[in-house]
Amino acid sequence: MRNNEYSRPPNPHRLYRNKLNGVLCGVCAGFADYFNIDVILVRIGWFVSIFILGPISIIAYFVACLFMPVRNRDMRTNLRPDEDAFWRAVEKHPSTTFSNLRYQFRDMDDRLADLERSVTSKEWKLRREFRDLEN
């Protein structure tokens, strides 16, 4: 593994400029990635904002171009869809995600304890001895 994988923050779902899918600076593509919507809709929204807000939207675009970091090529491409959905849920509702994870781990712990009780019981040993006698 490379060193930058250890220093990278655990949540890859951040607001970045996406120069791979971007036209000018990748700001609209970055917002589209962040909100998980089509980049065409973001571009149309920005274009409409030019008529509503005037030069403010153009200035805001270039300010975003200056301050938004550029996304690395491998930042979200190595995530499976379920991992991507997980990180989006963490970003939007961290306490709910934590509660769900805690429930899943408690459920897994209970099932593992049941399995351990079953395997270490005398009945399990007796069934194994009968199976060995049959063979």
> Is pTM, for the whole model, over 0.75?
no
Q: Quick check: is 129 in a domain?
A: yes
CA distance readout (Å), 76 to 16, 49, 66, 101, 103: 11, 29, 22, 22, 27
Average pLDDT over residues 94-105: 79
Q: Is the pLDDT of residue 6 over 80?
A: no
Average pLDDT over residues 73-102: 70
133/110 same-domain check: yes
70/4 same-domain check: yes
68/112 same-domain check: no
The residue ranking higher by pLDDT, 125 or 110, is 110
Q: Quick check: is 84 in a domain?
A: no
- Report the distance separating Cα 50 and Cα 45, nearest Å: 9
63/113 same-domain check: no
Number of independent structural domains in the chain = 2
Average pLDDT over residues 12-18: 72
4/46 same-domain check: yes
Domain that holds residue 124: 93-135
